[in-house]
């Protein structure tokens, strides 16, 4: 079986984050498109939508209408406003992106059982991928944290997607993601921040809102920005530290 597919999920926070995410997905942020960016402007017409309105304003309005209908008037500042799924195919693949990502979107609709605000396929970057925005509206309440879940629920999500979609295309099970150290995550976030500040044209408050969901796992974000993850630094102890370290009872007995 071939390897190379991926499925990631992140929580989106902030009152305007759905519109911000949709603007990126629908290529409405002009500053992202240029000679220094990771987006090939000539290939943007190859992108296509599988679900949702054609504009970011429309996506944001759809979310508002669904919440209004559920009589959700006000949410905490820390509330999860949306979940974003990122489905990725290998850079060189014979799989039909439209068929694969349609199957992936159908799986998301069934697996999560909440409204899909938008599903957009990008073919203008190095690897074909699909962004799916979900409104975490469960039984009339916004419940993004529970819908996202912890390690057990994320593992079950990966297993379900592999069984019902990816395996049918000949892909091997996605390997568990290795958790990076706190220092590496901080360094990765700083690299992403610098790239967005240099190329996106977004104000710092919006950049921080975009970065926040990736703090615990910045690797998919750096991959999307075409940035290599920073390497952990290996600290070698000095001769003085070695010679003056505390001696354990085991060492003394040798």
Domain residue limits, the chain: 1-176, 178-254
**Distance (Å, rounded) from C-alpha 12 to C-alpha 80?**
6
CATH class in words for 1-176: alpha beta
Alpha-carbon separation of residue 153 from 75, 83, 189 (angstroms): 24, 14, 25
Yes or no: say if 124 and 24 are a contact pair by the CB < 8 Å rule. no
Structure tokens at 244: 């003056």
**Distance (Å, rounded) from C-alpha 50 to C-alpha 122?**
11
Per-residue pLDDT of the chain (254 residues; tens, 9 = 90+): 445 578 999 999 988 899 999 999 999 987 777 655 678 888 999 999 999 999 999 999 999 999 999 999 788 888 899 999 999 999 888 999 999 999 999 999 999 999 999 999 999 988 899 999 999 999 999 989 889 988 888 889 999 999 999 999 999 876 555 667 888 888 888 888 888 887 767 778 888 888 888 888 888 777 777 788 888 765 555 445 544 455 444 343 43
Among 85, 88, 91, which residue's Cα sits nearest to residue 112?
Answer: 85
Element spanning 115, H or E: none
**Distance (Å, rounded) from C-alpha 248 to C-alpha 245?**
9
Q: 3-class DSSP state for residue 34?
A: coil
Q: What are phi and psi of 133, to 5 degrees?
A: -95, 125
pTM of the model: 0.70
């Amino acid at each position: 079986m071939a390897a190379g597919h991926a499925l990631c999920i992140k929580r989106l926070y902030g009152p305007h984050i759905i519109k911000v995410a949709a603007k990126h997905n629908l290529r409405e942020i002009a500053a992202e498109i240029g000679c220094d960016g990771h987006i090939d402007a000539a290939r943007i017409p190859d992108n296509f939508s599988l679900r949702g309105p054609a504009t970011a304003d429309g996506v944001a309005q759809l979310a508002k209408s669904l919440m209004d209908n559920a009589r959700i008037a006000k949410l905490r500042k820390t509330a999860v406003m949306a979940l974003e799924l990122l489905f990725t195919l290998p850079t060189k693949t014979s799989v039909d992106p439209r068929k694969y990502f349609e199957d992936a979107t159908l799986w998301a609709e069934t697996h999560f059982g909440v409204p899909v605000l938008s599903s957009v396929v990008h073919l203008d970057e190095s690897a074909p991928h699909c962004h799916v925005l979900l409104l975490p509206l469960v039984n009339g309440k916004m419940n993004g944290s529970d819908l996202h879940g912890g390690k057990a629920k994320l593992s079950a999500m990966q297993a379900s997607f592999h069984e019902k979609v990816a395996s049918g295309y000949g892909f091997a099970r996605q390997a568990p993601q290795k958790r990076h150290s706190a220092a590496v995550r901080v360094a990765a976030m700083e690299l992403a921040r610098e790239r967005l500040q240099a190329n996106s044209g977004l104000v710092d408050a919006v950049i921080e809102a975009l970065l926040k969901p990736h703090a615990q796992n910045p690797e998919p974000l750096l991959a999307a920005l075409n940035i290599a993850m920073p390497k952990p630094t290996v600290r070698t102890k000095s001769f003085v530290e070695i010679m003056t370290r505390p001696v354990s009872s085991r060492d003394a007995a040798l």
